[in-house]
Structure 1
Amino acid sequence: MSVRILALVGSLRAGSTNRQLAEAAAKHAPEGAEIQIYEGLGDVPFYNEDIDVEGSVPAAATALRDAANEADAIVLFSPEYNGTMSGVLKNAIDWLSRPYGAGALRGKPVAVIGTAFGQYGGVWAHDDARKSAGIAGGAVIEEAKLSIPGSLTRFAEVHPADDAEVVGQLTEVLTRVAKEAAAAKA
């Protein structure tokens, strides 16, 4: 049984190490899993309940919801900005949490991983993203964690896809996510 995992990257920067980590995930996806990196989070407007009504939902928000609805699981790739997740990732979670009680995250396996420059690899941001995704209805996989410190130096000359330690850790997390997604589909 094939599972579809949607990767949402919380950094819009062209040279984002979290984007590179998502690329590594797509390249090293476990057998039976396909990872799609979502393009377009930067186009999704800030969540506003006034525009989240039938006939007025922005196309970028609808596309995000559709992609999440089609996925079997979600992996959030979170940088750490000022001790928490990025606004772009929080905004995506907000859009995916609606309509209340029936949003695209409802019951869907969700994992949060990422890399940051600091010595803890973005742990605070990852904890906040797990909390937010869980409140939004996602079935957060608490055991599926990966926080890689020192991103700017560690990945200055080596892409995460070529870092054997990272690939090993990433594969463990993705295998867990794929198993949870397959079980949820069964």
Structure 2
Amino acid sequence: MASLRVLAFAGSLRKGSFNRALLRLAGEVAPKDMDLQSFDLASIPLYNGDVEAEGLPESVQQFRDQIRAADALLIVTPEYNYSIPGVLKNAIDWASRPPAQPFAGKPVAIMGAGGGLGTARSQYHLRQVCMSLDMHPLNKPEVLVRIAEAFEKNGTLKDEAVRAKVTDLLDALLAWTRRVRGEG
């Protein structure tokens, strides 16, 4: 079977972000028949309807094009104030603008690193957003990483069980994408 294209992005802009570290880990453990590409949300401006009326910013158009070209998505989200971070919501809001929003029908896997509940609340909210955009969220396995247990302060992974969980998530996303597409 042909390699599946997965677009991955993290809802954190900080270079030393633990969620960006999870995204890099996903690139290391992606199955051989998965082409995982990442998009940096830093270039996407704050949503402004006046700007949109003049035409989509180039970075937004690139993001939309990459979503459209992908077979599936991987979203890595921190948790801010019990929900998804503004930078992630902003990027989704821009990309979902009509006409022909590119999220519809996309299989999506979600993971994140955070505090005590490991981003459980933000992932729940993100699933609601995904469903409203007609995406197909993968239900299991859940990857809810507790930063204090999984990473050294410098971002180095210290819990190898996280590597296994991310590997399992990507394997499940591959199978889920093929199932959603009617290939298996």
Q: Same fold (TM over 0.5)?
A: yes
- TM-superposed CA distance for 1:119, in Å, is 1.2
Aligned to 1:42: 42
Aligned to 2:82: 83
Task: Output the CA distance in 2 between the equivalents of 1:6 and 1:89.
Answer: 14
Task: Output the CA distance in 1 between the equivalents of 2:148 and 2:61.
Answer: 34
Judge conservation of contact 1:17–1:152 (CA < 8 Å) in 2. Answer: no
Over aligned residues, Cα RMSD in angstroms? 1.8
- 1:54-98 Cα distance to aligned partner (Å, 9 max, x none): x61110100110111111111110001111111111112112222
Task: Output the CA distance in 1 between the equivalents of 2:44 and 2:173.
Answer: 26
- 1:135-174 Cα distance to aligned partner (Å, 9 max, x none): 122111122421111x1453125623x6421111111110
How many residues are paired up? 180
SS of 1:83's equivalent in the other structure is: coil
Aligned to 2:96: 97
Task: Output the CA distance in 2 between the equivalents of 1:152 and 1:47.
Answer: 33
SS of 1:79's equivalent in the other structure is: coil
- 1:102-121 Cα distance to aligned partner (Å, 9 max, x none): 311100001111100x2110
**Unaligned stretches of 5+ residues in structure 2:** none
**Unaligned stretches of 5+ residues in structure 1:** none
User: CA separation of 1:153/1:176 partners in 2, compared to 1, >3 Å: closer, same or farther?
Assistant: closer
Task: Output the CA distance in 2 between the equivalents of 1:51 and 1:136.
Answer: 22
Match of 2:127 among 130, 140, 148: 130
Q: Which amino acid aligns with 1:52?
A: E
% identity of equivalent residues: 33
Task: Output the CA distance in 1 between the equivalents of 2:132 and 2:48.
Answer: 18
